Structure 1
Amino acid sequence: MLLREIAHARTGDKGNISNISLIVFDQAQYELIRKSITADRVKEWLGKIVKGEVHRYELPQLGAFNFVLYDALDGGVTSSLQLDKHRKTLSSYLLEMPIG
């Protein structure tokens, strides 16, 4: 099963930091994601995109997680030469991660 089958996501940015909010469709799936989608696993999945640390914040009352990705925007939006300077596509890519 892919993450996109049980959750949706949105990406934001500030400076050279990106964050991905991951929200379950059904609160019953929260615990599965909590156990399966760790900060280390997200960092590994995103590979060379994230050069710094990844921190995961849990918001169980909302059925959500916030992953903060440090050094993930090639120095920041105003200095990056990437086509997706804000890295808005990171949320879509994260949702392709297999659960388990």
Structure 2
Amino acid sequence: MDRAALDALADKRRPATRLGWGVQWATVRMLGVFLTENPLAVPSGAVAFVAEQPDPDPACLADYGQRPTTSYEHAWQIRELPGYRDFGAGEQEVRR
């Protein structure tokens, strides 16, 4: 994760929340989409890779999203990071 992501991650208290937030960040960074409907639909190897930075046990991802709005809140937070914007804001640029 880059410095902005690690700084945003620092206020997450639970290991599952830190890892879930990191996985959300990675999926939007690498795939260009948020997995808000099913944030656990990530290959275990990808979860293990992400877990190396915030350092929780990859198995704790199973506890992520016990509160249904958590993954959506994390997606909103990630959208606020520098360098990210809604597709609609850049659609014309992409079309050109």
TM-score (norm 1): 0.28
Greater RCO, 1 or 2 (C-alpha within 8 Å, sep 6+): 1
Larger % of strand: which? 1
Larger % of helix: which? 2
